[in-house]
Amino acid sequence: MANINFVLQPSPTIPQKLLTNIHDVVYNHNASSLLPLSVRSIIHLVSSSNRLIRYPKIFTESLIHRTFQIHSPTMPTDARPVIFFDIDNCLYPRSARVQEHMAATIDLYFQKHLSLSSADATLLHTKYYTDYGLAISGLVKHHKIDPMAYNREVDDTLPMDQLIKPDPGLRRLLEGLDKEKVKLWLFTNAYITHAKRVIKILGLESVFEGITYCDYAQVPLVAKPHREMFEKAEREAGVSVGDGRRGDCYFVDDSALNCRFATEWGWTVVHKMEEGDPLPKQPVAKYQVTDLEKLRECFPQFFKSSEAEGKNIGREGHMNGSSL
């Protein structure tokens, strides 16, 4: 992997004395185009080398809040297939009611900042979600709101530690995937602070090799199910589609819209549903599951041999296979 050397310069938010405390980082980020603007303003790419850096949290609110590995834009591709996992309502059940809390908080934001009634806020919120995949996309495009302020008032205020909890069973499932055979990658429309918070609460911090997230500070804002977001995910995960490798991309998501696009894009898709959900009129994915344990049956080739042998999981959940 090619890493990037940086020259760090003092700024009002980064005194010179703090620059001496910068150490190595972990995790992935595309340094050339995806760093928040506040980071790009004080970091200058100068060459490729083995140098990595850490940003202390106190620098500024819009910096990356935890540790992320910085990849070169021209980093070598990885021959392993990639399974991209959505986070919200996918790695935890919809019954956790995070979606309801999020929707209520977004509606309040619309009411407060756009001076709308409760009913009008809900209507506009729904329209922007339908049109753009994210409410914030419509807010940025049509109302020029500050996306980082939105993140602080909406995503970061959700009481996630009260809504979800560690999931040892999910961790065992994911650790049963052979990382010599497949790369595990997070792919979310959430901003990095929310994504990292959820993964930490679930106890999955060391399971995934990287993350592609919706960078609220990026202009224009890019999110699933738009083509640019899928290209971004492939690029950051090291997939070279020029080698005909789009078929090596696998995807697990609860959104029918995202699943439909990913299927059309050429990925192998698992639509994560809930018990009792009606089946889509038109299939949006090769597989439909109500329990992530069914991934053992969808992708047996990626599980460690000790996991695959004799484990015909009997937990309830329907799965439709290649006939879809």
The residue with tokens 């595990």 is 184
Q: Are 273 and 297 in contact (CB under 8 A)?
A: no
Asked whether 272 and 106 are in contact (CB, 8 A), the reply is no
Instruction: Return the number of other C-beta atoms located less than 10 Å from residue 218's C-beta.
Output: 16
Count of positions (residues) in the chain? 324
* Contact (Cβ atoms closer than 8 angstroms) between residue 236 and residue 188: no
Which is nearest to 94 in space by CA: 282, 297, 291? Answer: 291
The pLDDT value given to residue 50: 33
Instruction: Kindly tell me the sign of the dihedral angle through the C-alpha atoms of 177, 182, 186, 187.
Output: negative
Crossing angle for the helix pair 98-114 and 118-132, nearest 10 degrees? 110
Which domains are seen in the chain, by residue range? 3-71 (no CATH), 82-92+165-308 (3.40.50.1000), 96-161 (1.10.150.450)
The residue among 318, 277, 278 whose CA lies nearest residue 297 is: 318
Look at residue 77 in the predicted model and tell me its pLDDT: 73
- Distance between CA atoms of residues 269 and 172, nearest Å: 22
Q: 158-164: long-range contacts at Cβ-Cβ below 8 A with a sequence spacing of 24 or more?
A: 158/98, 158/101, 158/102, 158/105, 158/194, 159/101, 160/98, 160/194, 160/197, 160/198, 160/201, 161/201, 163/96, 163/97, 163/98, 163/101, 164/92, 164/96, 164/98, 164/198, 164/201, 164/202
Which pLDDT value is given to residue 37?
42
Helix 98-114 / helix 135-143 crossing angle, nearest 10 deg: 10
Please report, in tens digits, the pLDDT of each residue of the chain (324 residues total): 333 333 344 444 444 333 333 322 333 333 333 344 444 334 433 223 333 343 333 333 333 333 333 333 434 578 899 999 999 999 999 999 999 999 999 999 999 999 999 999 999 999 999 888 899 999 999 999 999 999 999 999 999 999 999 999 999 999 999 999 999 999 999 999 999 999 999 999 999 999 999 999 998 999 999 999 999 999 999 998 877 789 999 999 999 999 999 999 999 999 999 999 998 999 999 999 999 999 999 999 999 986 544 444 433 333 443 222
Whether the CB-CB separation of 275 and 316 falls below 8 Å is answered with yes
DSSP state of 72: P
Indicate the angle between helix axes 118-132 and 135-143, nearest 10 degrees.
100
Q: How far apart are CA 64 and CA 189, in angstroms?
A: 16
Cα 191 to Cα 283: distance, rounded to the nearest angstrom: 29
- pTM for this model (two decimals): 0.75
